[in-house]
Amino acid sequence: MPPSKVSIAHHYHERTKYDPETIASKSKGLDWSQQPSPFKEYKIGKAFDLKSYLMEQVDTPKDGEFQQWQRLSQLFLCSYGLTAKVVSVFGDPIYFRAAPSAGGLYPAEIYLISRGTSILPPGLYSYQPQSHALFRFWDDAVWQDLQAACFLSPILEETELAVVTTAVFYRSAWRYEDRAYRRIFLDTGHLLGNIELAGAMNGYRPHLIGGFHDEALNKLLYLDDSKEGAIAVLPLVDLELKKNPPAKGLQIAALPSATRTDFPELPDGGLLRYFHQATQIEKWEQLTSPTQSEAETSLEDKYNFPFCLKIPMQIASIDLHGLEKTILKRRSTRAYTGKNLSLEELKTLLHFTYQPQDYEEQGFDRAPDYFDLSLLETFVVVLGVTGLEEGCYYYAPKAQELRQIRFKNFRQEVHYLCLGQDLGRDASAVVFHTADLQRAIARYGDRVYRYLHMDAGHLGQRLNLAAIHLDLGVSGIGGFFDDRVNEVLGIPIDEAVIYITTLGRPRSQ
């Protein structure tokens, strides 16, 4: 039996760590005949075509109804639409989407729930990326059921549409086994980042809900909860129709679950599903939710190492004109040249990711929803940045400065930590997102493991888009030797590594 005082989130994190002494024995060959399809299809219902409303295809008058469809079409295209098609070595097509996914497995699905609008009758809709269409597979009014599943969140009184993201677990578990749970929520975070930005570009304000009655929401969407599950709800406030949009904070993004310590011995392959079930919420009324003040009272960044070198990172905001094209051309970089980034480029990457308030004048949200960014920390390993000494730095977003904690070129060590991937060796800078799991679980229970990875993925997506916008290379890494990161880089041992993003100059393919 696992130790009685260890929560299931702690146990899962420890069980799914990669270690150089055991990773070879645990790795299994992939059965390519069992690779799951990345698309979910519905056979019975009505399709609402979105392709004809794409801007480059529009040659008809733009009345009010047409514009509503056009905005929805662009929202879904820039969130999770298909952006490229290539033929694999096996002869099958491989599709790329607007949001990155580990291994190109795309475990996420997107649903739209309509309360009833001038263009979308009440019901349940599935977004179909292959045809770029909304498929209405249930035509009864279900808004009250959605409100009940979200514990009567006030924001649902103010909206008529809500996006729900779900995950088909086996799509990722087929390759990554139990560790897939981490990647599923990182992938969802990428998607949330796209939805937030695509919403701003098309007159919608997504309000994030991560605390809901899991079983009720799964039933509402007719999900097979042995294989898939609801992950996040995003009510969409239509800023084109709402003259006085509801205030931020009307809903609580992150609700706590219980902290489970009485769990059975779990076999490999059974941990992911058990963990997901264990982090579900049934009755919010019996739990105490952290207040916003608890999450955001500190005016100081967590680490202020004595006598460390501090580099100011303030910079003017970049022009985001054409961000839609940036989203659609985004690709994960496969190889870097090893050449340096400039300090100004690194400043710009971090500025767009962590200082959204400076982009309000360009029409973007000054405070996009996250679950709780106060739980995440950011460390930057500088391998080759002109004007900046090599080493490991803590990024302080409130002070907007880098604080050096180790002086060294870590190129060889990062290459090793990233499982020998050349991306780690040849990058110019590597961003590590970490979290104090004990502190996080104390605030939100075991469900916080979901929130941490989605928030890290959301930040990672902003890094992705800023890099592509600057014609730089970027690639996220979800596989690494967990414990060795803290040891080698000098990161405090309490910080669990959640996500790694590599940045550099892309090599021509």
Ranges of beta strands (E only) in 359-494 are: 376-382, 385-386, 391-396, 401-407, 429-436, 473-477
Whether residues 325 and 404 fall in one domain: yes
pLDDT tens for 271-306 read: 999 999 999 998 875 445 555 445 555 678 999 988
Q: In which element (H, E) is residue 444 found?
A: helix 437-444
Whether residues 308 and 279 fall in one domain: no
Whether residues 274 and 312 fall in one domain: no
The pLDDT value recorded for residue 34 is 85
Whether residues 241 and 164 fall in one domain: yes
Whether residues 380 and 429 fall in one domain: yes
Whether residues 225 and 353 fall in one domain: no
The number of folded domains in the chain is 2
Whether residues 190 and 305 fall in one domain: no
Nearest-angstrom CA–CA distance, 483 and 495: 10
Task: Answer yes or no: is 2 within a domain.
Answer: no
Whether residues 261 and 332 fall in one domain: no
Final residue in a domain of this structure, among 263, 286, 309: 286
Whether residues 162 and 303 fall in one domain: no
Kindly write down the DSSP assignment for every residue of 229-280, as one continuous string: EEEEEEEEEETTT-SSPPPTTSS-S--------------TTTHHHHHHHHT-
Structure tokens at 485: 């990161």
Task: Answer yes or no: is 509 within a domain.
Answer: no
Task: Answer yes or no: is 497 within a domain.
Answer: yes
Residue 113: count other Cβ atoms within 10 Å of its Cβ. 27
pLDDT tens for 379-389 read: 999 999 999 99
Q: Is the pTM of this model over 0.85?
A: yes
Provide the domain limits for residue 193.
8-18+33-253+255-286
Whether residues 271 and 313 fall in one domain: no
Q: Does residue 3 surpass a pLDDT of 50? A: no
Whether residues 241 and 323 fall in one domain: no
Task: Answer yes or no: is 26 within a domain.
Answer: no
Of 62 and 318, the structure prediction assigns the larger pLDDT to: 318
Final residue in a domain of this structure, among 242, 269, 286: 286
Whether residues 260 and 303 fall in one domain: no
CATH number assigned to the domain comprising residue 413: 3.40.109.10
Nearest-angstrom CA–CA distance, 127 and 350: 32
Final residue in a domain of this structure, among 286, 308, 331: 286
pLDDT tens for 321-335 read: 999 999 999 999 999
Task: Answer yes or no: is 1 within a domain.
Answer: no
